[in-house]
A = this chain, B = another copy of it.
Amino acid sequence: MKKTKPKYRQIIDAAVVVIAENGYHQAQVSKIAKQAGVADGTIYLYFKNKEDILISLFQDKMGYFVEKIEEKIAGKEKAAEKLLVMVESHFSMLSVDRHLAIVTQLELRQSNKDLRHKINEVLKGYLALIERILFDGRESGEFSADLDIRLARQMIFGTMDETLTTWVMNDQKYDLTALAEPVHKLLISGCGKP
């Protein structure tokens, strides 16, 4: 399995750094190779093409995200609590990896429609996790019986995403993790009065 070889990870990690520091369109394969300490041609022994590096990068990181979050919510009972843990984990993981935050929130979005469809495929795992939490919450009576799970998932993901992107566009200059709790509260109760 190629994915376990050390150079595979070297290249993925190099790609995150190079894209974050140079931007998507200035992240040439040769730069990634240099950062990874390998020859240009070597990249193609581990990845089909440049797009494959980016998809693999996203799969790799997002897979780790979902895994970590699932671990953490395993012990929680309430859906609301699970959501809080999810938002906290997501925010916290991007807080500690500034490069990755830039890559996922800004740079990777500059990819073309084709690549974005593939990225969306990868995202489905995360979205399914959110929907599972919402479904459980509705079943248990914690959430409205008429909650539209798909829309609610779009609200939750859209809100987190917009919060993250705003934070990155503002050069990550405020504490993101402090926003997890109020964002969670908003998602649970909306703008209206309790």
A186 pairs with B155, CB closer than 8 A:
yes
Using Cβ atoms and an 8 Å threshold, which residues of chain B touch A194?
A: 144
A182 pairs with B148, CB closer than 8 A:
yes
A192 pairs with B189, CB closer than 8 A:
yes
With A109-B109, A112-B24 known as contacts, the answer to whether A186 contacts B182 (CB < 8 A) is no
B143 pairs with A186, CB closer than 8 A:
no
Q: How far is the CA of A133 from the CA of B161 in the complex (A)?
A: 22
Number of identical monomers bound together in the oligomeric complex: 4
Chain A: how many interface residues by the 8 Å CB criterion?
49
Chain B: minimal CB distance from A80 (Å): 7
**A window 5-46: CB within 8 A of B:** 23-25
A49-57, A58-66, A91-99, A162-170: which lies at the interface: A162-170
Interface string of A134-160 (1 = CB under 8 A from B): 100100011110011001101111111
With A148-B182, A191-B143 known as contacts, the answer to whether A162 contacts B161 (CB < 8 A) is yes
In this assembly, does A48 line the interface, its C-beta being within 8 Å of a C-beta of chain B?
no
Residue with the greatest number of chain B CB neighbours at <10 A, chosen from A113, A120, A142, A194: A113
A137 CB contact (under 8 Å) in B106, B148, B155, B191: B191
In this assembly, does A129 line the interface, its C-beta being within 8 Å of a C-beta of chain B?
no
Using Cβ atoms and an 8 Å threshold, which residues of chain B touch A155?
A: 155, 158-159, 162, 183, 186-187, 191
Question: What are 20 sample pairs from A and B whose C-beta atoms fall under 8 A apart?
Answer: A24-B112, A80-B191, A107-B113, A109-B109, A109-B110, A137-B191, A143-B193, A144-B194, A147-B191, A151-B163, A151-B183, A154-B159, A154-B183, A155-B186, A157-B162, A158-B159, A158-B161, A159-B159, A186-B190, A190-B190
